[in-house]
Chain A
Amino acid sequence: MTSHFLLMTGFAFLTSIVIALVTKKTPREQWRYFWKFFASLVAIALLIGWIMYPFPLR
């Protein structure tokens, strides 16, 4: 699999699970934090990608 978006989403998904479990105590807090963290990672990556879009590769 070489889709950058899917790789990034998979990475964000797995990382968010661990971070949510480590940082929050109750399942409800963990669940909410997981979605917040996951969405933030994906959204920020897309935003940075969008900002970098006009820059030439070389």
Chain B
Amino acid sequence: MTESARKVEPVTVSSNLWYISVLCVLGWMIPGSGHLLLKKPKRAVTFFLCIMILFFWGMNLGAKIWHYERQQPLTFFAMVAQTGVGTPYFVTRAVGTYAQNHSEFYFYPFAGRFNFGQGVISNITFEYGNTFTWVAGLLNFLVILDAFDIVMKRKE
């Protein structure tokens, strides 16, 4: 088969639609899990570790957990970038909210590091933290697209 013929090879999207959807949603919820489904464990573990380290390192530096504020529409993009990491974003947000009223909670000190989701603006590393968490989410979007390309046979 020539190179040009290989490029136009049709991909049966409709038959794999459920599989592709599960792959992308799972890949979003747990970074790297899409590649794990595709039997690429080394890549999966590397993606998982890199994205998790970036996200939790960012939170530890005092990042804010962003959510949409109508008065400041640009916060929407910050929220979308952070939600890219999937489950860790929602877990961290829940931990921050819960720990605020429960000082005996095991993760209270961790939640205190990012001021229970409000971020530590006075911290010199506040903007670093935000950047780390945003980029972690955006990288996970790239990882999901990579898994999508593999399942569509555009990439190995």
Contacts and interface: CB of A to CB of B under 8 A. Distances in A.
B70 interface: no
Given A2-B124, A2-B125, A18 B57 contact: no
Nearest to B61: A7
Contacts of B142: 18-19, 22
A22 B124 CA distance: 32
A18 B47 CA distance: 6
Contacts of A22: 142-143, 145-146
Chain A binding surface SS class: helix
Interface in B126-156: 128, 131-132, 135, 139, 142-143, 145-146, 155-156
A43 to B, nearest CB: 19
A14 interface: yes
B36 to A, nearest CB: 14
A21 B46 contact: yes
Given A21-B46, A25-B156, A10 B57 contact: yes
Interface of B: 43, 46-47, 50-51, 53-54, 57, 61, 124-125, 128, 131-132, 135, 139, 142-143, 145-146, 155-156
